[in-house]
Structure 1
Amino acid sequence: MKAMIFAAGLGTRLKPLTDTMPKALIRVGGKPLLQHVIEKLKGSGFDEIIINIHHFADQIIDFVESNDYFDIRIEFSDERDRLLDTGGGVKKASWFFDDHKPFLIHNVDILSNIDLRSLYKIHELNNSEATLVVSDRPTSRYLLFDDSLQLKGWLNKTNGETKSHFPDINPDNYNKLAFSGIHILNTSILSYMQHFPDKFSIIDFYLSICSKVRVAGYTPVNLKMIDVGKPGSPEEAESLLL
Structure 2
Amino acid sequence: MKAMILAAGLGTRLRPLTDTMPKALIPIKDKPLLEYMIEKLKVAGFEEIIINIHHFGQQIIDFVQSKNCFGIRIEFSDERDNLLDTGGAIKKAACFFDDGKPFLIHNVDILSNIDLCELCEYHKKHAYLASLVVSHRKTSRYLLFDENNLLKGWINTKTGERRSPFTDFDPTQCTPLAFSGIHILHPDVFNYMNNFPEKFSIVDFYLSICNREKLYGYVPRNLQLIDVGKLDSLSQAEKTFLIL
Separation in 1, partners of 2:186, 2:238: 33
- Secondary structure of 1:46's counterpart equals coil
Give 2:80's aligned amino acid: R
Correspondence for 1:56: 56
Shift of 1:173: 1.2
Correspondence for 1:211: 211
Give 1:63's aligned amino acid: F
Matches for 1:165-180 after TM superposition, within 5 Å: 165-180=165-180
Correspondence for 2:43: 43
Separation in 1, partners of 2:52, 2:229: 16
Correspondence for 1:95: 95
Correspondence for 1:185: 185
Separation in 2, partners of 1:230, 1:85: 19
- Secondary structure of 1:195's counterpart equals coil
Shift of 1:25: 0.2
Correspondence for 2:16: 16
Correspondence for 1:77: 77
Shift of 1:168: 4.6
- TM-score, normalized by length of structure 1? 0.99
- Secondary structure of 1:199's counterpart equals coil
Separation in 2, partners of 1:240, 1:3: 26
Separation in 2, partners of 1:231, 1:241: 15
Gaps of at least 5 residues in structure 1 are: none
Correspondence for 1:6: 6
Gaps of at least 5 residues in structure 2 are: none
Correspondence for 2:240: 240
- Secondary structure of 2:24's counterpart equals helix
Give 1:126's aligned amino acid: H
Shift of 1:149: 0.3
- Secondary structure of 1:232's counterpart equals helix
Matches for 1:126-145 after TM superposition, within 5 Å: 126-145=126-145
Shift of 1:95: 0.4
Separation in 1, partners of 2:29, 2:123: 31
Shift of 1:234: 1.0
Identity across matched positions, percent: 64
Matches for 1:101-180 after TM superposition, within 5 Å: 101-180=101-180
- Secondary structure of 2:155's counterpart equals strand
Matches for 1:215-230 after TM superposition, within 5 Å: 215-230=215-230
Separation in 1, partners of 2:95, 2:206: 20
Moved over 6 A (4+): none
Separation in 2, partners of 1:229, 1:216: 25
Separation in 1, partners of 2:81, 2:163: 30
Separation in 1, partners of 2:154, 2:39: 32
- Secondary structure of 1:133's counterpart equals strand
Separation in 2, partners of 1:92, 1:31: 29
Separation in 2, partners of 1:18, 1:232: 14
Separation in 1, partners of 2:126, 2:240: 30
Separation in 1, partners of 2:45, 2:11: 28
